[in-house]
Amino acid sequence: MDVSSPMTSMAAMRSFRRDPSVTARELPKGTVRRILGIARPYRRDLVFFLLLVIGSSVIGVLTPLLAGRIVNRIASLEGTAADIVRIALLIAALAVVDAGISLATRWFSARIGEGVIYDLRSRVFEHVQRMPVAFFTRTQTGALVSRLNNDVIGAQQAFTSTLSGVLSNAIGLVLTAGVMFTLSWQITALSLVLVPVFVLPARRIGRRLQEITRESYGLNASMNATMTERFNVAGALLVKLFGRPAVEAEGFRGRAARVRDIGVVSAMYGRTFFTALTLVAALATALVYGLGGWLAFTGSLSPGDVVALALLLSRLYGPLTALSNVRVDVMSAMVSFDRVFEVLDLQPMIRQAPDAVPVPETDRSIEFEHVSFSYPSAADVSLPSLEEVSLPEHGGPTAVLHDVSFRVEPGQLVALVGHSGAGKSTIANLVPRLYDATSGTVRVGGLDVRRATLDSLRDAIGVVSQDAHLFHDTIRANLLYARPEASEEQLWAALSGARIAGLVRSLPDALDTVVGDRGYRLSGGEKQRLAIARVLLKAPGIVILDEATAHLDSESEVAVQHALDTALTGRTSLVIAHRLSTIRSADQILVVDDGRIVESGTHSQLLALGGRYADLYQTQFAVGEGRTVGAA
| 0.85 surpassed by pTM | no
Fill in the DSSP letter of residue 321: H
Neighbour tally for 415: CB within 10 Å? 23
Indicate if the pLDDT at residue 96 is higher than 90.
yes
pLDDT of 489? 86
Indicate if the pLDDT at residue 3 is higher than 50.
no
Average pLDDT over residues 69-86: 76
Residue 108 carries which side chain, given as an amino acid letter?
F
Residue bearing the bigger pLDDT, 394 or 410: 410
Of the candidates 114, 100, 94, 109, the residue with the CA atom closest to the CA atom of residue 168: 109
CA distance 573 to 587: 10
Q: Judging by beta carbons within 10 Å of its beta carbon (0-12, 13-18, 19+), is residue 343 exposed, middle or buried? A: buried
Domain extent listing, the chain: 6-344, 366-381+398-631
pLDDT of 359? 86
Indicate if the pLDDT at residue 516 is higher than 50.
yes
- SS3 label, residue 391: coil
Indicate if the pLDDT at residue 2 is higher than 60.
no
Separation in Å, CA 281 to CA 285, 323, 383: 6, 16, 48
CA distance 56 to 49: 11
Of the candidates 516, 499, 369, 500, the residue with the CA atom closest to the CA atom of residue 439: 369
Indicate if the pLDDT at residue 506 is higher than 80.
yes
pLDDT of 97? 92
List of long-range contacts for 219-228, beta carbons under 8 Å, 24+ apart: 219/255, 219/258, 219/259, 219/262, 220/259, 221/142, 222/255, 223/252, 223/255, 223/256, 223/259, 224/142, 225/142, 226/251, 226/252, 226/255, 228/142
Residue bearing the bigger pLDDT, 143 or 255: 255
Neighbour tally for 16: CB within 10 Å? 25
Please provide residue 244's backbone torsions phi and psi, each rounded to the nearest 5 degrees: -120, 100
CA distance 408 to 426: 17
Q: How far is CA 453 from the centre of its chain?
A: 28
Q: To the nearest whole number, what is the mean pLDDT of the chain?
A: 77
Indicate if the pLDDT at residue 249 is higher than 90.
no
pLDDT of 390? 47
Indicate if the pLDDT at residue 183 is higher than 90.
no
Fill in the DSSP letter of residue 360: P
Indicate if the pLDDT at residue 173 is higher than 60.
yes
Comparing 159-163, 296-300, 338-342, 384-388, the range with the smallest average pLDDT is 384-388
pLDDT in tens, 585-624: 788 889 888 888 888 888 888 888 888 888 877 776 555 4
Residue bearing the bigger pLDDT, 391 or 336: 336
The upper half-sphere exposure of residue 602, i.e. CA atoms within 13 Å in the direction of its Cβ, equals 6
CA distance 437 to 440: 7
pLDDT of 238? 62
pLDDT of 599? 87
Indicate if the pLDDT at residue 265 is higher than 70.
yes
Class of domain 366-381+398-631: alpha beta
pLDDT of 626? 45
Residue 107 CB contacts under 8 Å (≥ 6 apart), including other chains: none
Strand ranges of the sheet holding 596-601, from the earlier edge strand across to the other edge: 461-465, 542-546, 572-576, 413-417, 588-593, 596-601
% of the chain beyond a pLDDT of 70:
74
Q: How far is CA 79 from the centre of its chain?
A: 65
pLDDT in tens, 115-148: 888 888 888 888 888 887 777 776 766 667 766 7
pLDDT band at 151 (very low <50, low <70, confident <90, very high): confident
pLDDT of 100? 92
pLDDT of 628? 40
% of the chain beyond a pLDDT of 90:
2
Average pLDDT over residues 193-210: 68
pLDDT band at 210 (very low <50, low <70, confident <90, very high): low
Of the candidates 505, 421, 494, 503, the residue with the CA atom closest to the CA atom of residue 464: 494
Average pLDDT over residues 152-171: 75
Please provide residue 185's backbone torsions phi and psi, each rounded to the nearest 5 degrees: -70, -30
Residue 505 carries which side chain, given as an amino acid letter?
R
Indicate if the pLDDT at residue 398 is higher than 60.
yes
Indicate if the pLDDT at residue 631 is higher than 60.
no
pLDDT in tens, 97-116: 989 998 998 888 888 888 88
Residue bearing the bigger pLDDT, 368 or 123: 368
Indicate if the pLDDT at residue 317 is higher than 90.
no
Separation in Å, CA 545 to CA 413, 561, 619: 11, 11, 22
Kind plus residue range of the DSSP H or E element containing 339: helix 326-344
Indicate if the pLDDT at residue 559 is higher than 70.
no
Average pLDDT over residues 559-578: 74
Average pLDDT over residues 161-182: 81
Strand partners, 407: 367
Comparing 55-64, 451-460, 558-567, the range with the smallest average pLDDT is 558-567
Q: Which residues of 190-207 are buried (b: 16+ CB within 10 A; e: fewer)?
A: ebeebbeebbeebeebbe
By DSSP bridging, strand 461-465 and strand 542-546 are parallel
Is there a contact between 624 and 581 (Cβ–Cβ < 8 Å)? yes
Neighbour tally for 17: CB within 10 Å? 21
Q: Output the CA angle 533-537-540, nearest 5 degrees.
A: 110
Residue 227 CB contacts under 8 Å (≥ 6 apart), including other chains: none
Comparing 186-200, 222-236, 399-413, the range with the smallest average pLDDT is 222-236
Fill in the DSSP letter of residue 345: T
pLDDT in tens, 272-302: 777 777 777 777 778 788 888 888 878 778 8
Does 3.40.50.10320 match the CATH number of domain 6-344?
Answer: no
Strand partners, 408: 366
pLDDT in tens, 11-23: 555 555 555 544 4
